[in-house]
Amino acid sequence: MLVIAMETGSASDGRMRWAGRRHDDDRSDASSGASSAELFDAVFHALHDGEQVALGFDCPLTSPLSRDQGAAAGHADAYALAKLAESASTRPGIAELGYVLGELGTWRPWTTVSTSLSRWKANTSILLWEAVPPEGSSGVAVDAAADSFFRQFRTATEDVAQAGRNYQAGPVVNLAAAAARRAGLFVDASELAQPTVSITVTGG
């Protein structure tokens, strides 16, 4: 299992620092880089070697819908829900996520993606998750993300893992699931209307 988190807007030239490790690695940044291309290489090779990958971003991966949009989405198909997410596809973080998933759609189109912790535990290839800073902090320490993930993974439920974000007030669209769908990768259609799993990253 390879766990990676990306810190959006972390470099002065607009590139994005990412770091991660496997459960048996000693260093928090055993895998690291500063570009989407390097991130794709790390993800691709891990999947090729038969590993599961948990890919986290420190930007919102779930977007609340207006009351009117929510009413429409309640009766919409997966295509309509994905369309609601298109306006966010160029946001920092979402654009880089789209690049990585798009490359996987080209070179490994049978890859399965989930934004649900329980579904990913059941042997989906990639988990997309939102890395949330602890209360009072302005950002996520990506070097600490894998440690936080491994500490919470074994006992986490969907409710616990969603504790970093509260989207229960109304309907949402799942930006990560929509990005996977745009890339031509398989993601369960029901996830488009559910929040992306989020885990609070502590330490650093």
pLDDT given at position 105: 96
Per-residue pLDDT tens digits for 23-78: 777 665 568 888 889 999 999 999 999 999 999 998 899 988 776 666 656 655 67
Q: List the chain residues with pLDDT less than 70.
A: 9-15, 26-30, 67-77, 154-169, 203-204
pLDDT given at position 34: 83
Range of the domain at 170: 2-200
CA distance 128 to 2: 12
Please, which residues have CB within 8 angstroms of residue 79's CB and are 6 or more apart in sequence? Answer: none
Q: What is the count of structural domains for the chain?
A: 1
Phi, psi at residue 151, to the nearest 5°? -65, -35
* Cα 91 from chain centre: 14
pLDDT given at position 85: 80
Q: What is the pTM of this model?
A: 0.85
pLDDT given at position 36: 87
pLDDT given at position 163: 46
